[in-house]
Amino acid sequence: MSKVSNLKEYGHLVHLFDSQKFMRHLGVEITDVADGHCEMMLPFQESWSEKNGSFSKAIVGALAENVASAAAATLTKVDESFSASEYKINLFGTAAGEKLLAVGEIIKSGRSLKIVRSNIYALNGADRVHCASAIVTLVAA
């Protein structure tokens, strides 16, 4: 699932990721994790492409929500559980590239609410284009 060496320190995140069949189905991999921070990578597949060969915007949205939930899970205590209640995504043109990089960063970590910013980048060789930003609200169960 991931080559990130410190991932096992984040039990909530491991459990979340293991239980999310959809992310595994897509082929999402966790590439970096720290307190309040998570990064994921998703290689392109032809079957998700929009008319111009870019990632479907629904995939971009799914990744933005998921990386936010993962970032929130890094600061979730043992007996807590958070779930996304809403997100809004801004799309800056097309998400065309070999891979998508999703970066989730907690802005506010409260007891009832966690607010996370997700940024999505399209990677093409050494090129990195910022293609979407989302703000995700997560609510304690």
Partner 1 sequence: MTDLKPKNPDFDAVVRNSFGRQSFMDFIGADLTQLSAGSCDISVPHQAGLTQQHGFFHGGLVSALADSAAGYAAFSLFPANSTVLTVDFKVNFLNPSEGKLLIAKAQVISMDRKICHVNGDVFAMKDGREIHCLTGIFTMMCLEGRSDSANLGRAKVAS
Q: How far is the CB of 84 from partner 1 (least distance, A)?
A: 13
Closer CB to partner 1, residue 15 or residue 88?
A: 88
Mind giving me the DSSP string for 53-117? SSBPHHHHHHHHHHHHHHHHHTT--TT--EEEEEEEEEE-S---SSEEEEEEEEEEE-SSEEEEE
Contacts of residue 112, defined as CB under 8 A and 6 or more positions apart, other chains included, come to: 139, 140
| Candidate residues 35, 93, 98, 124; the one interacting with partner 1 per rule CB under 8 A | 93
Question: Is 92 near partner 1 (CB under 8 A)?
Answer: yes
Question: Is 135 near partner 1 (CB under 8 A)?
Answer: yes
Question: Is 96 near partner 1 (CB under 8 A)?
Answer: no
Q: How far is the CB of 33 from partner 1 (least distance, A)?
A: 22
